[in-house]
Amino acid sequence: MRRLNGNRHFFEGDTLFVNMGPQHPSTHGVLRLLIETDGEVVTKAEPKIGYLHRCFEKSAEGVSWEGVIPYTDRMDYVGPIGNEWPYCLAVERLAGIEVPERGEYCRVIAAELQRIASHLLAFGTYGLDIGAITPFLHAFRDREKVLDILEYVSGARLLYNYIRIGGVVRPFDEKATAMIRDFLSDLATRLPEYHQLLSYNNIFIERTAGVGVITRDQALTYNITGPNLRATGIEWDLRRNDPYGFYDRFEFDVAVGTGEHGVLGDCWNRYIVRLIEIEESMRILEQAITMLPTDGPFWNYKRNLKVPPGETYARAESARGEVGFYVVANGELKPFRVKAKSPCFCALSGFPEYGTGMLLADVVATLGSIDIVLGEVDR
């Protein structure tokens, strides 16, 4: 055995151990991958997590019911509205709180804007992972327009604290809906440009098609959800299969892997599902802003909320899959227990299985394609 620079990497026979991270730019957060290679082939890939752990579940036991919402924002910090909604759903079910119709429409609009912003970030950063710089610049240009809209209604550009127990903190008014219409009109002209830059770029296809395949059985075994599951061809989306809010009122298609390049469940299909979902979110937004009531209550606010004893589980379809909250109440002004289910944690859990056998250069392509956020993995 020959060791180099302490334990950073070392040889053992013909095997090389390599640490990728925890500060590697392609780990999409503070993640460490301990990789065992035989030449250029990965024989073992073990995720080492916990670098971003902030005790979310324990912290939730020490604050009011409303005070938990900002903590949910900090799990998936690039798609926080997808975390706020299921938590509020759980509390509303326990407390018997009904959300006004205007508030439900506002929730749908905010969630779909957030989904587009998240997928634009995934599109741009995945291009960087593969070696393409230009898509990142284009994606952030369009993502800024979404953040401008969300900032207008919530006052924040990253951690919104927008969805509240019983509704939303502020409705989408005429100015906000006008901003959304302008954004949708502009984005419709950008999507063909995105496909030309990346989706159907021959080099990008060579780097992603047939790489990092997650089979249907693996996806179901590890409870992988969201775009990573739908890329395998399984048509499962909580907005359609277990509707919440007003999603049963909208016409949209569930985005699944096309298999146009590579095979179902590979990096390319996981990528293209997110681009298709942007188009479907645009369809939902066009319908939602048309149906949105212009007046009426939007927040059924309860001061000093005391939830009666009970327990429930609520889930929602975030940009990364099924986010769920198991909430237990004991009749006090704060939760007795809050347990969070993370789609990113599930997707990463299977990495030692589907990440084995690939080339070392494909580890970055595969990790980027599952679009994890470490704040949600560690919680």
Q: Give the model confidence (pLDDT) of 125-158 as tens digits.
A: 999 888 889 999 999 999 999 999 999 999 999 9
Look at residue 3 in the predicted model and tell me its pLDDT. Answer: 43
Is the pLDDT at 11 greater than 60? The verdict is no
Res 13: pLDDT:
59
Confidence of residue 347 (pLDDT cuts 50, 70, 90): very high
Indicate if 41 and 183 belong to the same structural domain.
no
Closest CA to 20 of 188, 11, 29, 12: 29
Q: If DSSP codes are grouped into helix, strand and coil, which group holds residue 315?
A: strand
18-22, 90-94, 170-174, 345-349: least confidently modelled range = 18-22
Whether residue 154 is found in the same domain as residue 11: no
For residues 89-95, give the mean pLDDT.
Answer: 95
Q: Report the percentage of the chain scoring pLDDT > 70.
A: 96
pLDDT digit string, tens, across residues 209-218: 999 899 999 9
Specify whether 77 is located in the same domain as 28. no
pLDDT at 2 exceeding the cut of 50? no
Do residues 14 and 150 both lie within one domain? no
Which of the four pLDDT bands, split at 50, 70 and 90, describes residue 246? very high
∠288-139-209 over CA atoms, to 5°?
100
| 238 and 316 belong to one structural domain | yes
Q: Which segment of 37-46, 135-144, 177-186, 231-240 scores lowest on mean pLDDT?
A: 37-46
Do 42 and 181 share a domain, yes or no? Answer: no
Q: Is 161 left (phi over 0), alpha (psi -120 to 50) or beta?
A: left
Q: Which residue has the tokens 């390319």?
A: 268
- Over the chain, what is the mean pLDDT? 90
Is pLDDT above 90 for 304? no
Instruction: Say yes or no: 28 and 143 in one domain.
Output: no
Report pLDDT for 1: 38
- Alpha carbon separation from 76 to 73, 83, 219, 292, 319 (Å, rounded): 6, 7, 21, 27, 10
Judge if 343 and 218 occupy the same domain: yes
- Contact of 375 with 52, CB cutoff 8 Å: yes
- Cβ-based neighbours of 240, under 8 Å, separated by 6 or more: 247, 252, 254
On whether the CB atoms of residues 42 and 366 are closer than 8 A, the answer is: no
Region 74-87: mean pLDDT is: 92
Based on the domain organization, do 185 and 264 belong to the same domain?
yes
Query: Per mean pLDDT, which of 8-17, 53-62, 169-178, 362-371 is the most reliable?
Result: 169-178
26 and 155 fall within a common domain: no
CATH number of the domain bearing residue 189:
1.10.645.10
pLDDT at residue 134, rounded to an integer: 92
Domain identity same for 244 and 373: yes
**CA–CA separation, 290 and 283 (whole Å):** 11
Span 294-311, average pLDDT: 91
Token pair for 376: 């949600």
Asked if the model's pLDDT at residue 357 lies above 80, the reply is yes
Is the per-residue pLDDT at 27 higher than 80? Answer: no
Domain of 42 in residue numbering reads as 2-48
Token pair listed for 343: 């789609």
Nearest to 88 by CA among 116, 74, 67: 67
- Which run of H or E residues covers position 338? strand 337-341
d(CA 77, CA 45): 26
Mean pLDDT across the stretch 234-258?
93
- Residue 191: is it exposed, middle or buried by C-beta count within 10 angstroms (0-12/13-18/19+)? middle
Give percent above pLDDT 90 in the chain. Answer: 73
Residue-level pLDDT at 4: 43
The DSSP 8-state label assigned to residue 195 in this structure reads I
b/e burial code for range 77-106 (CB count within 10 A of at least 16 → b)? bbbbbbbbbbbbbbbbebbebebbebbbbb
Provide the number of structural domains found in the chain. 2
User: 10 pLDDT exceeds 60?
Assistant: no
DSSP-assigned beta bridge partners for residue 37: 16, 42
pLDDT at 181 over 70: yes
pLDDT at residue number 6:
47
Encoded tokens for 147: 């953040």
Res 120: pLDDT: 95
- 151 with 241, same domain? yes
Task: Say what the pTM is.
Answer: 0.92
